[in-house]
Amino acid sequence: MNTFERRNKIIEMVNRTGSVLVNDISARLGVTEVTVRADLRLLEERGLLSRFHGGAARKEGSAPAETTMETSEVSLTDRYQLAADPKRRIAIEAAKLVREGDTVILDSGSTTKLLAEELVAMSSITVITNSLPAANILFENKDITLVICGGTLRHKTVSLHGNIAEYALRDVSANLMFVGADGLDDENGITTFNEGYAISGVMAAAAQQVIVLTDSTKFGRKGYNIVLPVEKIDTIISDREAPEEMVNSLKKQGKKVILV
């Protein structure tokens, strides 16, 4: 059962019975309670259920599943679009690259936050991040060693930057670094129009592999600040709408490109 199927199953359980406990979901689906709590938080954020201490309940105003199974299935398809969301697919694919025992660096960004939601179910990994939203997700799993960079808060991205954050990454050796992109092209690499991008270069220098997570809309966009030059990038994970010409150009430069 993949992530999407598991979360759909949880919605079905909640809608069928009105409420369900975390330990019951865990036993029924054969996953840890940490995984279940992470799923419930995500589903609540999307307005699909309401959490309470130790479980979840049907969203007020939602019809019980017994009233019409056909209507319920259509509702799930309409309301729960995670599989159709390119960023979600990218995050799920990225999580497959992480192995037990790995040290992973997560840069800030919306797609890396989604990746944190996938990694929270894992154990025996170390995650280093400057992203407070990602840290807030990952802290729930005691089997993950979580390292949060210090530094100055950048409110726009809810992430930590500056000399203190960069100093925290000195002498760090990580297996993987995951980074998002405001813009990506085959000549300049990752670019942005924003400030506060210096930490990305420090993170990349500390990692054996740099993996870019970006949807196809970011291909060809060029900001005036270079976050990471193309030679620093090892792998790009994007969706199938990524422009073929640029994808081929990146492959010719030795970059691995995964489209989902």
Name the DSSP letter for residue 200.
H
Name the DSSP letter for residue 64.
P
Position 126: which residue type? T
Closest by CA to 123, choosing from 28, 16, 32, is: 32
Residue 30 backbone class (left: φ over 0; alpha: ψ -120 to 50; beta: rest): left
Q: Identify the architecture of domain 86-259 in CATH.
A: 3-Layer(aba) Sandwich (3.40)
The total of other beta-carbon atoms located within 10 Å of residue 194's CB is 12
The enclosing H or E element of 63 equals none
Q: What is the pLDDT of residue 84?
A: 54
Q: What is the pLDDT of residue 5?
A: 80
Q: What is the pLDDT of residues 179-220, one digit of tens each?
A: 999 999 999 999 998 777 899 999 999 999 999 999 999 999
Check: CB of residue 232 under 8 Å from CB of residue 210. Answer: yes
Residues of the chain with CATH 3.40.50.1360: 86-259
Closest by CA to 134, choosing from 191, 173, 94, is: 94
- Please give the Cα distance from 161 to 151 (Å, whole number): 5
Q: What is the mean pLDDT of each run of 10 residues along the chain (260 residues)?
A: 82 90 93 90 86 90 47 40 73 95 96 93 95 93 94 92 94 96 95 86 97 96 92 97 96 97
Question: Facing residues of 147 across strands?
Answer: 128
Q: What is the pLDDT of residue 64?
A: 54
Residues of the chain with CATH 1.10.10.10: 3-83
* Number of residues that this document lists for the chain: 260
Q: What is the pLDDT of residue 66?
A: 44
Helices (H), the chain: 3-17, 22-29, 33-45, 69-79, 86-95, 110-119, 132-138, 163-168, 198-205, 244-252
- Name the token pair of 114: 């989604």
Q: What angle do CA 108, 111, 115 make, to 5 degrees?
A: 95
- Please give the Cα distance from 239 to 258 (Å, whole number): 8
For domain 3-83, give the CATH number: 1.10.10.10
Q: What is the pLDDT of residue 112?
A: 95
Q: What is the pLDDT of residue 242?
A: 96
